[in-house]
């Protein structure tokens, strides 16, 4: 059901509002739009009138230059007459001056219509960007932000990846001056502490991406207490969407020790590779005995490459956190499974752990491709 149909005399505060409204209407009805003719005042040359049309309006102009070989895209313009025209009032508002609801083609479903170019850009509108930033600052993740935007506007075209890309762009646009301040601060720390180590990763355009640093105390402690370390990326700053990732361990007083910290642009294999190599260089090539992390796949792959002699272990808290969503089918069908699982999970020796695992597999017919089997293998 279409929420509102354009009508002559409809008033908007800005031309962007006209476009957003008409594009939303087009998505619900099943077509895409594009900007067409522009009319300016003869005297001041100010924009006074704008036309928006169906993306199938008109016909494609084919070049007659036979000497130029052009790879052509599929022709989608078939002379559709659908259009909306808005004029600027003396008060600065934009008013719908004409509207023609006349298509010469079949309309798509809203889901298929979301593939049109105008709807692929809906996440870049000022309203969408502002709402994305507000929801992100409130602590919501990209998937929940996309769901909220689509529910609020009735627009099903904004994907989780589009939210991620747009938030990263906002972060990149805001990080310039702060990046310089961070670099200046790290340089001052290096002067005060000659064993202070830091590294900055830049993108192709010279914008700050990720930072790693460790002071002399962190480096000294690591060489003494490097048997087991924990690497955690669960902390995220709001302003720049950068994950705070500390390397931590335990000293001889059973107190936490920090062996370095990082601010990461993202959690991809490329970023983890950069960070782990910088950390290894900082620690003069000394790999940890064991490293405990969450169950991130990108991190798992990089640790095997950068720390080939290190034993990689998953954090039990993260395993327990995701446990129910993977074993509910077994536990729902077998009332004794939870008891047997806890006995196996809390085994105090390798032999008892292996014996109880074999019993679990046999008793509950656990498949080799199941989540539990993969956890056992890893």
Measured CA to CA in angstroms, residue 2 lies from 26, 155, 264 at distances of 9, 11, 43
Assigned token pair, 305: 């490459």
Rounded to 10 deg, the angle between the 269-282 and 297-306 helix axes is 40
The candidate with the shortest Cα–Cα distance to 373, out of 326, 308, 329, 316, is: 326
Which run of H or of E encompasses 129? helix 126-137
Q: Does any domain span residue 8?
A: yes
CB contact at 8 A, 97 and 8 = yes
Mean pLDDT of the chain: 80
Running DSSP on this structure, what letter comes out for residue 225? S
The candidate with the shortest Cα–Cα distance to 119, out of 108, 132, 134, 130, is: 108
What tens digit of pLDDT does each residue of 209-225 get? Answer: 889 999 999 999 999 99
Same domain, 131 and 208: no
Q: Does any domain span residue 64?
A: no
Q: Looking at the chain, how many residues does it have?
A: 378
CA 211 to chain centre: 19
Same domain, 224 and 310: yes
Same domain, 16 and 105: yes
Same domain, 97 and 81: yes
Looking at the 3D structure of the chain, how many domains does it have? 4
Same domain, 244 and 371: no
The CATH number for 232's domain is 3.30.420
User: How many other β-carbons are positioned within 10 Å of the β-carbon of residue 17?
Assistant: 17
The candidate with the shortest Cα–Cα distance to 337, out of 325, 351, 327, is: 327
What tens digit of pLDDT does each residue of 23-73 get? Answer: 888 888 889 898 998 998 888 888 999 999 998 888 766 555 555 455 454
**Cα separation of 259 and 286, whole Å?**
12
Same domain, 157 and 188: no
Cβ neighbours of residue 237 under 8 Å, at least 6 residues apart? 243, 244, 263
- Which range marks the domain in which residue 356 is found? 331-377
Q: Which of 133, 153, 173 is the last residue of a domain?
A: 173
pTM (global) more than 0.75: no
Partner residues linked to 98 by β-bridges: 85
Same domain, 365 and 267: no
The candidate with the shortest Cα–Cα distance to 338, out of 349, 323, 354, 353, is: 323
Assigned token pair, 151: 């529910």
Measured CA to CA in angstroms, residue 138 lies from 159, 216, 237 at distances of 19, 36, 11
pLDDT one digit per residue (tens) for the chain, 378 residues: 556 789 999 999 989 889 888 888 888 888 989 899 899 888 888 899 999 999 888 876 655 555 545 545 455 778 899 999 999 998 999 999 999 998 998 888 766 776 777 766 554 555 566 677 777 777 777 777 777 777 765 545 677 767 777 776 666 555 566 677 888 889 999 999 999 999 998 877 667 788 999 999 999 999 999 999 999 886 665 456 678 899 999 998 989 999 999 988 888 889 999 999 999 999 999 999 999 988 777 888 899 999 999 998 887 776 776 666 667 667 666 777 778 878 887 888 888 888 888 888 888 777 765 777 776 676
Same domain, 245 and 165: no
Q: Is 23 exposed, middle or buried (0-12, 13-18, 19+ CB in 10 A)?
A: buried
Same domain, 208 and 288: yes
**Cα separation of 358 and 355, whole Å?**
5
User: What are residue 37's phi and psi, to 5 degrees?
Assistant: -65, 145
């Amino acid at each position: 059901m279409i929420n509102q149909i354009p009508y002559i005399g409809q008033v908007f505060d800005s031309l962007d509002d006209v476009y957003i409204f008409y594009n939303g209407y087009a998505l619900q009805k099943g077509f895409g739009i594009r900007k067409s003719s522009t009319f300016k005042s003869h005297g001041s040359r100010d924009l006074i009138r704008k036309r928006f049309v169906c993306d199938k309006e008109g016909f494609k102009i084919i070049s007659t230059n036979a000497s130029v070989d052009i790879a052509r895209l599929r022709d989608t313009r078939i002379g559709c007459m659908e259009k909306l025209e808005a004029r600027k009032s003396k008060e600065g508002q934009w008013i719908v001056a004409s509207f023609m609801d006349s298509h010469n083609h079949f309309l798509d479903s809203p889901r298929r219509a979301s593939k049109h170019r105008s709807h692929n850009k809906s996440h870049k509108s000022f309203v969408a960007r502002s709402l994305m930033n507000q929801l992100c600052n409130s602590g919501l993740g990209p998937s929940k932000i996309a769901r909220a935007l689509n529910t609020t506007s009735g627009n099903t075209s904004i994907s989780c990846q589009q939210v991620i890309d747009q938030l990263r762009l906002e972060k990149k646009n805001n990080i310039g001056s702060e990046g310089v301040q961070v670099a200046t601060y790290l340089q001052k720390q290096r002067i005060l502490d000659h064993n202070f180590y830091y590294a900055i990763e830049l993108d192709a355009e010279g914008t700050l991406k990720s930072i790693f640093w460790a002071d002399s105390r962190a480096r000294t402690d690591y060489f003494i207490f490097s048997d087991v370390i924990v690497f955690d990326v669960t902390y995220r700053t709001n302003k720049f969407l950068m994950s705070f990732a500390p390397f931590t361990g335990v000293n001889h007083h059973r107190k936490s020790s920090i062996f370095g910290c990082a601010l990461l642009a993202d959690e991809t294999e490329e970023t983890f590779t950069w960070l782990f190599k910088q950390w290894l260089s900082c620690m003069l090539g000394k790999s940890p005995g064991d490293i405990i992390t969450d169950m991130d796949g990108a991190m798992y792959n990089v640790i095997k490459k950068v720390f080939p002699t290190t034993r990689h272990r998953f954090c039990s808290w993260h395993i327990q956190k995701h446990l129910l969503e993977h074993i509910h089918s077994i536990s729902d069908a077998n009332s004794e499974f939870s008891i047997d699982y806890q006995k196996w999970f809390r085994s105090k020796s390798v032999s008892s752990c292996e014996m109880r695992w074999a019993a679990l597999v046999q008793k509950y017919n656990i498949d080799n491709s199941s989540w539990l089997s993969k956890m056992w293998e890893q």
